[in-house]
Amino acid sequence: MNEHPSSPTQFVISHCIQKGGTEVPSNKDVTSLDWYCDGTLLATGSYDGYARIWTTDGRLASTLGQHKGPTVALKWNKNGNYILSARFDKTTIIWDASTSQCTQKFAFHSATALDVDWQSNVSFASCSTDQCIHVCKLGSDKPTKSFQGHTNEVNAIKWDPQGNLLASCSHDIVYSEQETCVHDSQAEIYTIKWSSTGLGTKNPNMNLILVSASFDSTVRLWDVERGLCIHTLTKHSEPVYSVDKYVLI
C-alpha cells in the first residue's frame, strides 16, 4: 500500500506471449512507446513481434497482431484512432486502435523500416536502412513522394509542427522539402526533434528550431531557414540518444 498518497504510483508492465496455452514473459526488448493524445493509453512495440496498448493502471487493453519480426517504432495519430508501426520485415502498418486490426500495410522499403511520423491523421513518412524515405497516405497503393538524399541508413524522421517540412537524419540532416543538407557532427546523428515554435504553434513569433542528438556526444540546435548550427551543447561524455522539444536530455 502506498504510504505517501501524493507520491507517484509505479507500475511494471510485463510483455508476455502465449506459450502452450500459458502466458509467459517474452524476454524481448521493448523498442518503442508512445502515449495516446490525452495520456490515457500507452502503445508499445517489442522485439517479440507484437504491438500492444496499455491503460494507465498497467492493464493490457489490446494486442495489435503479431508482426513477422520486431516492431521497431510506432506512433499514434493526432485523432487517436490509428497507430502506425515500422517493422523489421521492411513494412509499415496502419492499425485501427479500436479494433486492433490492420487497416493497411505498406511494403515500399527494401530493408528494415526504422522510424515513422504522421504528417496528418491519414498521411505519414517512413525511413529505412535502405537510405530511402517514403511519404504515404491511407488508401493509396503507392507513395505520394519519395526521397533518396542520404548515403547511409536513415535513423529518424520528423515533420515540423505544420507538417510542411520533413527532417531526416543519418550521418547528416536533410530538410527534404527544401532539399537542404547540413552536417556538423563528427559521428552518426541518432535522433532529431522540432521545437514547439513557429507558425502553427503557441509560439508563432519564435523561429523554428531543429534539435539533433549525435553519437559524438553533442546536441545541436539548427536554424532551419539558414541551415546553420546556432548552438552546440557539449556537456555529455557519451553518445546522446534522446532530446525533447522543451527540455534537452
Q: What is the CATH number of the domain that holds 83?
A: 2.40.128.630
- Considering the domain architecture, whether residues 104 and 181 belong to the same structural domain is answered as no
Residue 26: which residues within 8 A CB-CB, separation 6 or more?
15, 16, 17, 46, 47, 48, 50
Q: Which residue has the cell 532539399?
A: 179
pLDDT digits over 68-97, tens only? Answer: 789 999 999 999 999 999 999 999 999 999
Does residue 213 lie in a domain region?
yes
Does residue 137 lie in a domain region?
no
Q: Looking at residue 84, what is its pLDDT? A: 98
pLDDT digits over 195-226, tens only? Answer: 887 777 787 888 888 888 887 888 888 888 88
CA angle 192/195/200 to nearest 5° reads 125
Instruction: Indicate whether 168 pLDDT > 70.
Output: yes
Does residue 236 lie in a domain region?
yes
Residues 159, 209 contacting (CB under 8 angstroms) = no
- Considering the domain architecture, whether residues 231 and 156 belong to the same structural domain is answered as yes
Does residue 125 lie in a domain region?
no
- Considering the domain architecture, whether residues 160 and 89 belong to the same structural domain is answered as no
CA distance 30 to 14: 10
CA distance 90 to 69: 9
- Considering the domain architecture, whether residues 165 and 240 belong to the same structural domain is answered as yes
Indicate the residue among 114, 137, 159 that finishes a domain.
114
Q: Looking at residue 1, what is its pLDDT? A: 40
Residue 42: which residues within 8 A CB-CB, separation 6 or more?
13, 33, 34, 35, 36, 53, 54, 55, 56
Query: For the whole model, what pTM was predicted?
Result: 0.84
- Considering the domain architecture, whether residues 109 and 200 belong to the same structural domain is answered as no
Q: Are strands 50-55 and 189-194 parallel, antiparallel or unpaired?
A: unpaired
Range name among 55-69, 103-117, 175-189 with the lowest pLDDT average: 175-189
Instruction: Indicate whether 140 pLDDT > 60.
Output: yes
Range name among 78-92, 133-147, 195-209, 234-248 with the lowest pLDDT average: 234-248
Does residue 243 lie in a domain region?
yes
- Considering the domain architecture, whether residues 37 and 104 belong to the same structural domain is answered as yes
Does residue 193 lie in a domain region?
yes
**Mean pLDDT of the 32-54 span:** 94
CA distance 135 to 151: 19
Count up the domains in the chain and report the number.
2
- Considering the domain architecture, whether residues 175 and 248 belong to the same structural domain is answered as yes
Domain that includes residue 55, residue range:
24-114
Does residue 127 lie in a domain region?
no
Q: How confident is the model at residue 4 (pLDDT cuts 50, 70, 90)?
A: low
CA distance 51 to 100: 10
How far is CA 195 from each of CA 60, 86, 87, 138, 162, rounded to the nearest angstrom? Answer: 33, 24, 27, 27, 12
Does residue 144 lie in a domain region?
no
Indicate the residue among 114, 132, 159 that finishes a domain.
114
- Considering the domain architecture, whether residues 83 and 170 belong to the same structural domain is answered as no
Indicate the residue among 114, 139, 174 that finishes a domain.
114
